[in-house]
Amino acid sequence: MLKKGLSVLKYLFVLLIVLLSLGPFLWVLMASFKTNAEILNNSLGWPHSFRFSNYVMAFKIAPISRFYINSVIVGIFGTVLNLFLLGMAAYVLARFQFRFKKLLVGAFSLSLLIPGAAMLQPLYLTVNALGLYDKLIGLIIVYAGFGLPVSLYILSSYFLTIPKEMEESAYLDGASFIKTFFKIILPISKPGFGTAGVMQFLLCWNEFQFAIILTTGNQSRTLPLALYYFKSQFASDYGVMFAATMVVIIPSIVVYILLQKQVVSGLAAGAVKG
């Protein structure tokens, strides 16, 4: 009896979780094909027909394509810069002993404990002073830095799993430090970089709080901000608002489904234990 009750509870719980996760998403998808009148009068039903005009309008009313391009640029370069700089640093930290190493590791780990919100005004000041306010390059540098603790952790854990003999034999063959790193270490570390890269890309793609204080106007804003600023523009045209929301969400879902394995292992690896 108890066993049966527990298993009913279990299925109810799973059903609830699935409904909560999928429900809002499916409802907005359905509504994105409706007219205003349909949305107001038939909020829960199917649309009369699957019209794509709301999507066309979303791109017309709002410069969504501009935001898209910005998000792609910031996502790609923010990830490449982060992986390149932290890949080098993580390699040295994982492999060599040197003076100030403890101090450096301590400082880097401290960055994990600083909530981004606390740095809003100081970062605004720094980026302004560097002449990077409202420029994509400003966002790229800030995101590369903001992803420092997680990338450093994932990459150095990965480097630690590579046997030292790999490099020793490279040195014996006369390869230089630089050549060993780029020709031997980087190629075998692809999975580590894949994991860190996906985490970093999602960070760049979804980031909101720095984007909102480091940009102004439409020139260098990214997709998450698009929704925030268009909220009022769409106030009277619900169908278009739903379409715009879907346009922002769909790429994240597609990327996630394609890279599911990397994302899941990345999250598991990104848990900073202790």
Site for other proteins in 14-73 (CB under 8 A): 14, 17-18, 20-25, 27-28, 31, 39-40, 43-44
Q: How far is the CB of 215 from other proteins (least distance, A)?
A: 12
107 part of the interface to other proteins, by CB under 8 A: yes
The residues in 228-247 that bind other proteins, with binding defined as CB under 8 A, are 228, 231, 238, 241-242, 245
End-to-end CA distance of the chain: 42
- Between helix 136-146 and helix 190-206 the angle, nearest 10°, is 120
CB of 253 to other proteins, least distance (A): 6
Segment near other proteins (CB under 8 A), from 56-64, 158-166, 185-193, 261-269?
Answer: 261-269
Tell me if 205 contacts other proteins by CB under 8 A.
Answer: yes
Distance from C-alpha of 255 to C-alpha of 263, rounded to nearest angstrom: 10
Q: Are 149 and 109 spatial neighbours (Cβ–Cβ below 8 Å)?
A: yes
Work out whether 166 is an interface residue with other proteins (CB under 8 A): no
User: 46 is written with which tokens?
Assistant: 């199917």
In degrees, rounded to 5, the angle at the alpha carbon of residue 92 between the alpha carbons of residues 89 and 97 is 135
* Shorter beta-carbon distance to other proteins: residue 219 or 260: 260
The stretch near other proteins (CB under 8 A) out of 53-61, 112-120, 157-165, 185-193 is 112-120
User: What letter would DSSP give residue 33?
Assistant: T
Instruction: Pick from 58, 62, 64, 86 the residue near other proteins by CB under 8 A.
Output: 86
Quick one: which of 172, 189, 214 has its CA closest to 78?
214
The yes or no reply on residue 154 touching other proteins (CB under 8 A) is no
Site for other proteins in 115-134 (CB under 8 A): 115-126, 130
Q: Quick check: 5 binds other proteins (CB under 8 A)?
A: no
47-55, 61-69, 85-93, 183-191 -> range binding other proteins (CB under 8 A): 85-93
111: contact with other proteins by CB under 8 A: yes
Q: Which stretch binds other proteins (CB under 8 A): 9-17, 50-58, 158-166, 185-193?
A: 9-17
Q: Which of 33, 91, 158, 159 binds other proteins (CB under 8 A)?
A: 91
Task: Please select the residue that binds other proteins; options are 53, 65, 252, 261, rule is CB under 8 A.
Answer: 252
How far is it, in rounded angstroms, from Cα 202 to Cα 195?
A: 11
Answer whether 162's CB lies under 8 Å from 185's CB: yes
24-51 per-residue burial string, b: 16 or more CB within 10 A, e: under 16: eeeeebbbbbbbeebbeeeeeeebeeee
- Asked whether the beta carbons of 199 and 150 are under 8 A apart, the reply is yes
Residues touching other proteins: how many (CB under 8 A)? 93
- SS3 of the chain: helix, strand, coil, percent, to 5: 80, 0, 20
- Please, what is the minimum distance in Å from the beta carbon of residue 52 to other proteins? 19
